[in-house]
Chain A
């Protein structure tokens, strides 16, 4: 009897999660298997896939300068923009946590770029204001500095895109703010009784108590950084001279412009491995610097 009831509950459970279950098998698991298979083939969408073993992987790793360029660009981008974004996010969260009036209004203002920053509209704006006759050069000239061709110059094009994503520090800022509000005030009171100065409280209390949130933001922003596509596609088209050829952009070109589906699938798997390795490294390192209260502290 009990068994029958459990079976019935199981079936009801499956019926209720069935939309996700179907989606998971057809849109995630199936495609993952297919993608793995395709990565060992030559496939142009028109004729049937042609098994070529490890050729795609070998070619990508040994024989494709654009792959190396795209990986370099993406790594530079991630390792420059993520720390900058988090530093801004933390600095402003600290500032907004001082309990002054009107902080709600200002956090909202600072959060707006995070909400709309990935849109095509903002890409259009970026392309114009960083253009030769754009607002940035106009401001620089007014300040007596020399303007430059930001987007057309291989040395500065990546900077323009880094500025665009760093500008969107609002959502990590809000997560930091929520984290800061969780820190018990007694800790600060005790520190001030002990005569600690602001710098000491920051490094001995705020930062350690915030490490779980820092870790979370670091993981999310790093993974997000590898995915950048829309902005580069619209603002620089990967150029000039491949200086903004992000990994996702090169993968898109390979798959949907040159219809090299097998090669692009192999690229996707390499990307997955790189992201997995970096995430794993971050998780491994976290035991040394992330402080969880429930463990009693170290």
Chain B
């Protein structure tokens, strides 16, 4: 019996490790190839070890091409992502509190509207939103990317926070009201501090999605000096037509760096967020 267990363990771990290797091979390949000279990226394509370590790919990539370097792209991504995260956390937590704890007229109808928007394909609102932002002169600014986050952000996040607030005992609210808090005070002093673990999930997902976002910057940002990292990589790939793959891979690896850091520190929250709400 014991022997059988060991054999199945061996089969199990061999499979899990080999398949795991296949799973992360493309990512390892990207990072290792970013350190290879051009000839090796294609000449020695499948190998993960550079014959000759080419650290210069990073400095050459950082300069970007044309007049815009990756310092500009990273700064723009940081601004947009930072503002989206702040906006989402502030607005989504407040709105979730309103839906979870306060009785107002038409609440059921509005909640149904909120849930309906979770499922709505972006394509339906994409074009008229673009026309709206075009008419108010916001095309080629960060506003179309950032302002929606301050107006509730992803309905997913509001829903997630509503579920979490429902788990907080109402007695806490009532005690605070007796102590002289108004509704907003209850939110700020009672709910918000207790909401922290759920807010971590919201922060991480808002960061990951905004940092990765390609479609919105593609539509709204024309000037190269406003481009985010995702557009920077696209420009790089198209402009060089395959002659500068080393630096391009270097910048691709670098673009994932903030996400990896976040993932390394908070993967527990990410996994919990996925498991409990089915985000993404």
Contact = CB atoms under 8 A, between A and B. Distances in A.
Contacts of B13: 100, 102
Contacts of B215: 229-230, 252
Interface in B239-280: 245, 248-249, 252-253, 255-256, 259, 263, 267, 270-271, 274-276, 278-280
Interface in A9-45: 9-14, 16-17, 19-24, 26-32, 34-35, 38, 45
Contact of B249 (A118, A124, A220): A124
Contact of A13 (B98, B123, B230): B98
Nearest to B124: A268
B271 A255 contact: no
B114 interface: yes
A115 B234 CA distance: 20
Given A9-B104, A26-B132, A268-B123, A119 B275 contact: no
Interface stretch (A105-113, A154-162, A193-201): A105-113
B24 A112 contact: yes
Interface in A221-235: 223, 226-227, 229-230, 233-234
B278 A121 contact: no
Interface string B81-109: 00000000001001101110011110100
A128 interface: yes
A258 to B, nearest CB: 12
Nearest to B257: A121
A17 B110 contact: yes
B23 interface: yes
B83 to A, nearest CB: 14
A45 B134 contact: yes
Interface residues of B, number: 87
A20 B253 contact: no
A87 B131 CA distance: 41
A19 B128 contact: no
A35 B127 contact: yes
Contacts of A19: 91, 94-95, 150-152
Give the interface centre of A19, A24, A113, A230 by most chain B CB atoms within 10 Å: A19
Contacts of B214: 120, 229-230, 233-234
Contact of A118 (B126, B212, B274): B212
B221 interface: no
B265 to A, nearest CB: 12
Interface in A167-182: 167, 171, 174-175, 177-178
Contacts of A126: 26
7 A-B pairs with the lowest CB-CB distances in the bound complex, closest first: A23-B151, A13-B104, A20-B152, A31-B128, A16-B98, A121-B252, A178-B275
Interface of B: 9, 12-13, 15-16, 19-20, 23-24, 26-27, 29-30, 33, 41-46, 91, 94-95, 97-99, 102-105, 107, 110, 113-114, 117, 119-132, 134, 148, 150-152, 158, 183-184, 187, 208, 212, 214-215, 218-219, 229-230, 233-234, 237, 245, 248-249, 252-253, 255-256, 259, 263, 267, 270-271, 274-276, 278-280
24 contacts: A10-B103, A10-B105, A11-B104, A17-B98, A20-B91, A28-B117, A32-B128, A34-B131, A119-B230, A119-B256, A120-B214, A120-B230, A121-B255, A122-B30, A124-B30, A125-B252, A135-B46, A174-B271, A178-B275, A216-B278, A227-B123, A233-B218, A261-B127, A268-B127
